[in-house]
Amino acid sequence: MRLDNGTVRSPVLDGGSGIAYDTIVTVVLDTNVLIAALRSRRGASFRLLSLVGTGRFDIALSVPLVLEYEGVANRLLPELGMNADDVVDILDYLCSVGIHRPVFFLWRPTLPDPKDDMVLELAVDAAAPVIVTFNKRDFVGADRFGVRVLTPREYLQEIGDIP
């Protein structure tokens, strides 16, 4: 359900009382989306990253995913035109607004690229119905877990941010 302000809500059923509540949709951002947003302010990834923390959607985070964000960003510092402090500031912000999930189960290997399994595991643990990535084919099989895989542009279209 899309509210007037563009916030996307999904119905959740409370198993104990049977009462339905509207909640903000939680998504998982693959590392390639974060890196694309840091590379350019022009694309859908940057727009999506700029909406984090605004209440339009939540992001789920786990320690392994944040460490991957940090490792990849730090390796690409010269290409990103940033320094390590900039990366720390961005990750601190994401951690301050994200939903932290400790993932206690491993279903590996589930996906064609085993490095992507932690992203799927986080989505399942956080009940996030969407993984946002540029590598949709790396997440073939995510639908078995009730998780859809969308590009940043597709997700922005879904939430009504772009036509």
pLDDT at 39: 96
pLDDT at 5: 45
Integer Cα distance of 102 and 148 in angstroms: 21
pLDDT at 24: 82
pLDDT at 35: 98
Query: Global pTM?
Result: 0.84
Domain 9-142+153-158: top CATH class? alpha beta
- For residues 128 and 60, the answer to whether their CB atoms sit within 8 Å is yes
| pLDDT tens-digit profile, the chain (163 residues) | 444 444 454 555 555 555 555 568 999 999 999 999 999 999 999 999 999 999 999 999 999 999 999 999 999 999 999 999 999 999 999 999 999 998 776 666 678 777 888 999 999 999 999 999 999 999 998 999 999 999 999 999 999 998 7
pLDDT at 112: 76
Burial category of 92 from C-beta neighbours within 10 Å (exposed 0-12, middle 13-18, buried 19 and up): exposed
Q: Where are the domains of the chain?
A: 9-142+153-158
Burial category of 37 from C-beta neighbours within 10 Å (exposed 0-12, middle 13-18, buried 19 and up): buried
